[in-house]
Chain A
Amino acid sequence: MSGPLLELEGVHTHIGAYHILHGVDLQVARGELTVLLGRNGAGKTTTLRTIMGLWHASAGHVRFDGQEIGAQSTPEIARKGIAYVPENMGIFADLTVRENMILAARGAKNAEEIDAKRLEWVFSLFPAMKKFWQHPAGLLSGGQKQMLAVARAIVEPRHLLLVDEPSKGLAPAIIQNMIAAFRELKQTDTTILLVEQNFNFARQLGDQVAVMDGGRIVHSGTMAALAEDEALQQRLLGLSLGAHQ
Chain B
Amino acid sequence: MNNRHIFRSTAIALVVATAFGVQSCVGGGSSNNELGDVPVDDRDSGLVVSGEVVSDMIQNISSPVEMANEVKGTGVGFSQGILNPAGMENKYETSFKKAVNLGVYAADLGYINTFNKNLVVVDYLGSIKRLADGIGVGQFLDFTTLTRLAKNSTNLDSLKQLSVTSFNDIDRYLREQNRSNVSTAIVVGTWVEGIYITSQVINQTHDKGLIDRLGEQKDIVEILRIVINTYSKSDRDYKALSGKIEELKHIYEGVKVTTEMGEPETQEIDGMLIIVQNEITHIDISEEQVKSIIAKINEIRSSLVE
User: Are A and B physically bound partners?
Assistant: no
Could you list which residues of chain B lie within 8 angstroms of chain A, going by C-beta atoms? none
